Amino acid sequence: MPHNLDPEEDDLDTIPASQPVFHVEQALLGALLLDPRRLGDVTGIYADSFSTAAHAALFAAINALPPPDPDEHARNITWLNQVLAAGREQARGLTVSYLHTLIQVCPWPRHAAAYARMVEAEHARRRLRAAAEHLLQTAHDDTLAHPVPTVLAEADVLAAVVDDIATRFLPRAGALPRAPASPPAIVPDHTEATEEEQLLLATATARPADIESVRWLLAEDFTQPLHAGLWQCLTTLVRRHEPVDPVTVLWEAQQRGLLHDGREPSDVLRLLAEPAGSVEHWSQRVLARSLLTTVDHAARRIQAYSDDPLITPFQLVAGARRALADIGAVRTRWQHATGRPLPQRARAAPTTRAGPSTRLAPVASPPSARPATGRTP
């Protein structure tokens, strides 16, 4: 190929190639530069499917320009000049040298469809991780006046990404993902949670008749093992229709082994002796915190899946849906607690058989849709 394109000194050959997908993107772009007719074989990806701005700009330029006549393209570089000029509008560092590199590193232009599928798979992984990161950030946003509805709306955004990936990568046999280690969770400050749980336990001990109205609260929602055990003591006594007061709860706690760690009985009696507010109010506070904790754990699990290169796109879907199911279970209890069902988007039907992927023709990237996350009550 002649080297008489409009030259510049900037050279993208020095872009770090730390991930295999970088080389896959180079091979795909090289195939399209060598044989622009291969663009018809490429589906399911957009400019933003690429990992670098330069690659995205080149793909957008190739996709936007009319394909050249094959014979003319074999004889001159007019079309390549047009691609370079269009690509530079978005990535000024693109050079003649880099286009030559792309052409030289492409093993087989006829494999363009396979390269595109690999790019699509890696883009799905990045999309999923980005959505999980945003969910995690929202769950830890202390500025939200009403965090639960906002966080659940963000969980729906993540679920929509999972559903879209599921339509593009249909299941195969043995698709269950392995369980990679989740990133370490941020150790929360449980001071406020401890105080609220203690107020709930004391208030429920003073007003045991109100416990029946908060059956949606579970022991697993508490942050402290002792508090979870005392809640089980209270609900057990109520279910048996036995007397409830600090002494009867203390006795039940002893039967359950809650005092075997050296805890003084007087500490438990003091904990149960200062009621305030209502059982329902404190129960909702405990459940809200439990929901946010569940979201945190689910988002970190999905991050771990997306960071594991051995997990396939459909395995990402399977693992993410399992994590999102944990959020859904607490969400249902939250709806019972508040009496205000939160709007839920329509879920895509689960895929059950293998087959060709449902992929869109390469067109301009669709605008990202994100539901409003304003502070609604």
Residue-by-residue pLDDT tens, the chain, 377 positions? 443 444 444 445 444 557 899 999 999 999 999 999 999 999 999 999 999 999 999 999 999 999 998 888 988 899 999 999 999 999 998 999 999 999 999 999 999 999 999 999 999 999 999 999 999 999 999 999 999 999 999 999 999 999 999 999 877 655 566 666 655 555 566 789 999 999 999 999 999 999 999 999 999 999 999 999 999 999 999 999 999 999 999 999 999 999 887 789 999 999 999 999 999 999 999 999 999 999 999 999 999 999 998 888 989 999 999 999 999 999 999 999 998 655 555 555 544 333 333 333 444 444 444 444 443 33
Q: Does the structural domain 12-107 have CATH classification 1.10.860?
A: yes
- Output the pLDDT for position 358: 36
- Output the pLDDT for position 170: 78
C-alpha 307/C-alpha 323 separation (Å) is 15
Q: Answer yes or no: are the C-beta atoms of 219 and 228 closer than 8 Å.
A: yes
Closest CA to 351 of 325, 306, 321: 321
- Output the pLDDT for position 152: 97
- Output the pLDDT for position 178: 65
- Output the pLDDT for position 191: 84
- Output the pLDDT for position 354: 37
Residues in the chain, how many?
A: 377
- DSSP 8-state class, residue 276: -
What CATH number does the domain located at 124-372 have?
A: 1.10.860.10
Q: Answer yes or no: are the C-beta atoms of 295 and 135 closer than 8 Å.
A: yes
Could you list the beta-strand ranges (E) of the chain.
none
Q: Answer yes or no: are the C-beta atoms of 356 and 38 closer than 8 Å.
A: no
- Output the pLDDT for position 162: 96
C-alpha 300/C-alpha 289 separation (Å) is 17
Numbered ranges of CATH 1.10.860.10 in the chain:
124-372
- Output the pLDDT for position 171: 73
